[in-house]
Structure 1
Amino acid sequence: MINVTCAIIRNEDDEVLVVQRGEATDHPFKWEFPGGKVGNGETEEECIVREVREELSMEIVICGRLPEVEHDYGHKKIKLIPFICDTLDELPFLSEHHDFKWIASPDLLKVDFSEADIPVARSYLKSQDVPAGIEKITKSESGKGIDDDKELQAMINRMMSMKEADWIATSAIDNPEIFKKLLDYSFSDDKKLAFHASWTLTKVCDKYPEIILPHLAQIIESLDKIDNESAQRSFLRIISLTNMSRIGTKHHGILAEHCFNSLRSGFSAIAIKAYSMETLYKLALIYPELANELAAIINMLQREGSAGIVARGHMILKKLSGMSGK
């Protein structure tokens, strides 16, 4: 039995990435979820992150895991280990596959998948149903049913779909107690809880941007101290979508230094670099002297970055060029 990981990769529009195998493969021109064999000495999580990086030049964040699928192809038996993942990269650079496409979740079962991937697609669609517990807290008007911290934390940790995140986000907008807990959990030492809570917090801010304004100073001052790349990613996304005039001058300086350091670092994830670029562009609209430094760093990243960061960098450079043309 060969252990093989695969990734159900979602973009910010909640579409799922599928890739097409080439002609000279076991299953020519069939579609599949990207992934590969687990190597000696590596965990399944390490494997899927490595495979997606090698095959697609994409960075992913693991959000959850689906039941394993065993399948006998006749000439080989595999155990498929599926992970639900998020990404900011929308343009994979194909090194092994023939083609790719982003598919709306309801259309997944229309795809001509390899046999082992079909039950994975079904399992993913089933995981997107909103559990009764999530509906219960959304309908709560005064915190009833979520008084128990452990209950809410368990719900957040079990969360695997955009729909679930949206339901909890709606509840947080209506109920300040839930919002406060989401914010507190985002700083938790429990990395999974912090990631899921901060991810849900981004959905809250998408729906009601004003709600985060009183807390932006705390978030900005914490960026250098957070040892959780996923939570940093969520916080930087929230900041990148914020009107910079609503942030004080002191925190402009802290933010600019953090974002420039993230862009220069060889260890920052692609999503963190992308949100740092957007934040620095918005700061450059207020402080034009930042524009040249930002452009220089982006040009450097264009030569050595992934397809996703190159595409995002090109967009920012175009906007910076528009600034200088004014």
Structure 2
Amino acid sequence: MTKIVHVAVGVIKQEDKFFLTKRLAASHQGGKWEFPGGKVEENETVHQALHRELKEEVAIETLTCTSLMQISHDYGDKKVLLDVFVVDNFTGEAKALEGQQSGWFTLAEFSGLNFPAANQAIIDQLQKNYQ
């Protein structure tokens, strides 16, 4: 049986822009843009994982977040369970800390970016909520 990777995802929002990072080429789904986050570790809540991952990956402290959705996706070689949160209350200045590209993008700019398939449901929900 394929192991399911549980991931806490932060949709970091500031005004009308969203912070994205580009997966490193050697990683699963490498070269694609994504919302930052990471694996939920054993004995860790999803909120704890989100807070830790956003601090480690993009240098922000999450003050509050709102649950957006949960997504199960099978890539064939890997299954993921994404717990997705909108993070619009944070301190610090978002920047990639793991050598990847990053930037702030409007929803309109998403159409020109390549995302992992599991992210499409997030984008669809953001377009419903913020356009």
Q: TM-score, normalised by structure 2?
A: 0.86
Give unpaired runs (5+ residues) of structure 1.
130-326
Q: Output the CA distance in 2 between the equivalents of 1:91 and 1:70.
A: 27
What secondary structure does 1:23 align onto? coil
| Identity across the alignment (%) | 30
Equivalence for 1:281: none
1:1-326 → structure 2 map (5 Å cutoff): 1-11=4-14, 13-86=15-88, 87-95=90-98, 97-128=99-130
Question: Is the CA contact (8 Å cut-off) linking 1:109 and 1:121 kept in structure 2?
Answer: no
Larger Rg: 1
Secondary structure of the residue aligned to 1:24 is: coil
Q: Which has the higher strand share?
A: 2
- Post-superposition offset of 1:17: 0.3
Write the letter of the residue equivalent to 1:6.
V
Deviations 1:70-113 (A, max 9, x none): 11111111111100002343341422x52001001333343211
Q: Is the 8 A contact 2:63 2:91 kept in 1?
A: no
- How many angstroms apart in 1 are the aligned matches of 2:63 and 2:16? 14
CA pair 79-115 structure 1, distance change in 2 beyond 3 A: same
Q: For 2:68 and 2:74, locate their aligned partners in 1 and report how far apart those are by CA, in whole Å.
A: 19
How many matched pairs? 127
Q: Can you give the 5+ residue segments of structure 2 that lack an aligned partner in the other structure?
A: none
Tell whether the 8 Å contact from 2:96 to 2:102 is kept in structure 1 after alignment.
no
Give, in whole Å, the separation in 1 of the partners of 2:96 and 2:103. Answer: 12
Q: How big is the shift at 1:4?
A: 0.9
Relative CO higher for 1 or 2, CA cutoff 8 Å, sep ≥ 6? 2
d(CA) in 2 for partners of 1:7, 1:65: 10
**Cα deviation code 1:224-243 (max 9, x no counterpart):** xxxxxxxxxxxxxxxxxxxx
What's the secondary structure of 2:7's corresponding residue? strand
More helix by share: 1
What letter matches 1:125 in structure 2? Q
TM-score (norm 1): 0.37
**Could you tell me which amino acid in structure 2 is paired with residue 68 of structure 1?**
Q
Aligned to 1:68, what secondary structure does the other structure show? strand
* Deviation digits for residues 45-84 of structure 1 (CA, Å, limit 9, x no counterpart): 1111100111122112333111211111111111111000
